[in-house]
Amino acid sequence: MSQSPSDKSHKLRLTYVWQAVEKLGRASAQEICALVASKMGEAEVSAAFKRNIYRDLNSLVEAGELGVDHFLPDGSKFEPGADGELASNFRAEYFSHAKDTALLAGGALRALGAEFYVPAKALVTWKAAPPDSQLPEASFSILLPLPEGGWLGLSAPVADRPFQVILARNDASFKGGAQFEEVQKKYGTRSALLRVNSKVVSRGVPGGRSGHLSVGLNAEGNKILIEDLGSSVGTLVSPIRQDLLNALIQSHSNQKTSAVLNLESLSRYPFKAVDGAVESPTLVMAGTYFFIVAHS
C-alpha cells in the first residue's frame, strides 16, 4: 500500500528533526524548529508547524532516538515528576545519544525502517549522517537512498579496520538484538548489523544464515570486501563513476537524488555477481535494493 502525502511529509520531517539535532549537538526546540523550517522551505513558521516539531521531538525521545534534559532558569538540571509534570519557566535541550548505545538510531534510519547495530565497545566508530559535499576523509562509507530522496551515510574511519557490516531484512521473526549477538559470535566483535525494510533482502535465520550479504574493509584498508551469504536473489556489483557519485552526494540537500539516478539508467552498469574485492566506489544490488559503498 502506498503512503499518503501526509505520511511521507511526516517521515521527511522526522528525518530533518533528527538531522537538525545531529548538526546542532544540543539545541532547544525553537532552534531545531528554525533549522527544520529552513530545510523544508517554510517561509513562515506557523503555530501548527511548531506543534508538529514538538510532537516529533517527543516521539523521538519516547523511541529512545533522542535525549532531552530540562533546566531551571538558574541552570540547574531537574527531572519531570513521576506523572510527567514539568516545572514552570524551564528550558529543554534535545540531544542525540545514539553513539553511546549498541543500536545506532536516528531519524533517517527510522524513515528507512532500518536498524543499525554497532560494536558496543566502540572498536569501530560508526556514524550515521547525511553525507556532505564529499565523503569524510580516510573513511569507509555505505550510502543508503532515503525514501524522499537524498542519502544517509554510514561511515567509519579507515583506521578502525578491519570491520564488516552484515546486511539483512528487518524482520520481526528474528529480533535485532539476538541477531546481532549471533553476528558478533560468528564474525567477531568488530562486526555490525544493518537491518533494512526490504522484502528483496534476505532475512537472517537463527542459528543459520546471518543475512543477505557482508560488506567491509580488509585489514590493510585498501580493499572493500563483499560476500553474498547465500541469499535467495543474489548480490550484484558494478563500479560507479566518481563524477556520478559526487553528483549524488551533492544532490541530497535539494532532494534530486532520483533525478540524478535517472540520468543514467542502472541497466547501463556492467553488473556482475560479487566475487570478493570490489573497486571504490561501487554500486551494490541486493535483489532490487541498492546502495553505494566507497572508501577514501
Instruction: Point out the domain boundary residue: 96, 114, 143.
Output: 96
Domain containing residue 28: 5-96
Q: Are residues 17 and 142 in the same domain?
A: no
Domain count, the chain: 2
Whether 78 contacts 96, CB under 8 Å? no
State the pLDDT at residue 91: 82
Q: Is the dihedral of CA 42, 152, 127, 177 positive or negative?
A: positive
The pLDDT of residue 121: 58
- For residues 92 and 119, membership in a common domain is answered with no
Which CATH number goes with the domain that contains 86?
Answer: 1.10.10.10
* Number of residues that make up the chain: 296
* pLDDT (0 to 100) of residue 262: 44
Spatial distance between the Cα atoms of 146 and 265, rounded to a whole number of angstroms: 18
Query: Among candidates 68, 50, 48, 72, which has minimal Cα distance to 58?
Result: 68
* Per-residue confidence (pLDDT) for residue 9, from 0 to 100: 74
Do residues 286 and 235 touch, judged by C-beta distance below 8 A? yes
The reported pLDDT for the residue numbered 263 is: 40
Q: Are residues 180 and 218 in the same domain?
A: yes
Rounded to two decimals, what is the model's pTM?
0.65
pLDDT computed for residue 120 by the predictor: 64
CATH number at residue 281: 2.60.200.20
pLDDT of residue 93: 87
The whole-number mean pLDDT for each consecutive block of 10 residues of the chain, a chain of 296 residues, reads 51 84 82 90 86 89 77 75 60 68 65 82 79 75 79 89 95 88 91 93 95 95 94 94 77 52 62 90 90 89
The confidence score (pLDDT) of residue 193 equals: 95
pLDDT per position as a tens digit, 27-42: 889 999 999 998 888 8
For residue 172, with 0-12 CB atoms within 10 Å meaning exposed, 13-18 middle and 19 or more buried, which class applies? exposed
Residues 26 and 123 occupy one common structural domain: no
Domain co-membership, 83 together with 186: no
